[in-house]
Amino acid sequence: MFALGGDLPVRRLGYGTAQLTGPGYWGPRGDARDAVAVLRRAVERGVTLIDTADNYGPSVAEELVAKALHPYPEGLVIATKGGVVRTGDSAWHIDGRPERLREMCEASLRRLRLETVDLYQLHRLDPAVPMAEQLGALEELRAEGKIRHIGLDTVSAEQLSAALELTEIASVQNRYNLLDRESEPLLELCEERGIAFLPWFPLGNGALTAHPECARIAAAHGATPGQVALAWLLHRSPVLCPTPGTGTLVHLEENLDAAGVRPTGAELSLLAALA
């Protein structure tokens, strides 16, 4: 378990909703009933952190979360993101103007059928807008009761340090996995400050499944390489909270079963040396 923001206990293996949308995170993936089934099964399996974003679809993922899970069970933490505008399956536009962040947050609340979102993450810092103005807009929304905690996506350790001078930050989301440790300095800072680190692409976007060392260790445990990669993350740091996504029930079960994989100390050392 991890206390997100110090007051929201979550199981460290959560569920991310990006794969419920189509290629390029654009449009629906397929039959909405399949997505609803995956979301409900995740909660049945004990997932307490659902990670989504307004631009997945756009809007599709948030609407599916509400369709599947509202009214939300007690203890379920909903995280979403804003600050990026989509105009096509390969078109992403950062917009951190305070008025736009407010519009995005309020639209997410309507789609998710929430009065307060547990964790609202700035999907990207807008280089054209001072950080103080972007975080100030989120602080105002928090003061109004529309946000409980603030998070950041894709930042450096230096940017997180600067943000912490301005407001409380409960989480970060950066690319991080068994083979990609570029955000190691950020992880170390999160450990020092008790900040949740939600790694995106925790399975290397499929690259880990073909790694021979990962496959060898997986075979020794009757597991899959993906399960070993997730198990390594859970062992790597107590602040790492992976939220792997999938659109299928079979893959969901596989991901969640990773919590039961127990690599030996020697195997963890071998895995740590892969990057």
pLDDT in tens, 154-175: 999 999 999 999 999 999 999 9
What pLDDT shows up at residue 63?
A: 98
At 107 the pLDDT is: 98
Longest dimension (CA), the chain: 54
pTM exceeds 0.85 for this model: yes
The whole-number pLDDT of residue 110 equals 98
Q: Is 56 one of the annotated active-site residues of the chain?
A: yes
Burial 36-63 (b: 16+ CB within 10 A, else e): bebbebbbebebbbbbbbbbbbbbbbbb
Rg (CA), the chain: 18
What pLDDT does 45 receive? 98
- 57 strand-pairing partners: 26
pLDDT at 274: 87
- In the predicted model, residues of the chain with pLDDT beneath 70 are 206, 209
The CA-atom distances, in angstroms, between 173 and each of 41, 74, 177, 223, 240 are 24, 25, 12, 27, 10
Q: Which of 56, 72, 120, 176 is catalytic?
A: 56
**What ranges do the domains of the chain cover?**
2-272
The pLDDT, as a whole number, for residue 189 is 98
For domain 2-272, give the CATH superfamily.
Answer: NADP-dependent oxidoreductase domain (3.20.20.100)
Give the pLDDT confidence score for residue 252 in this predicted structure.
98
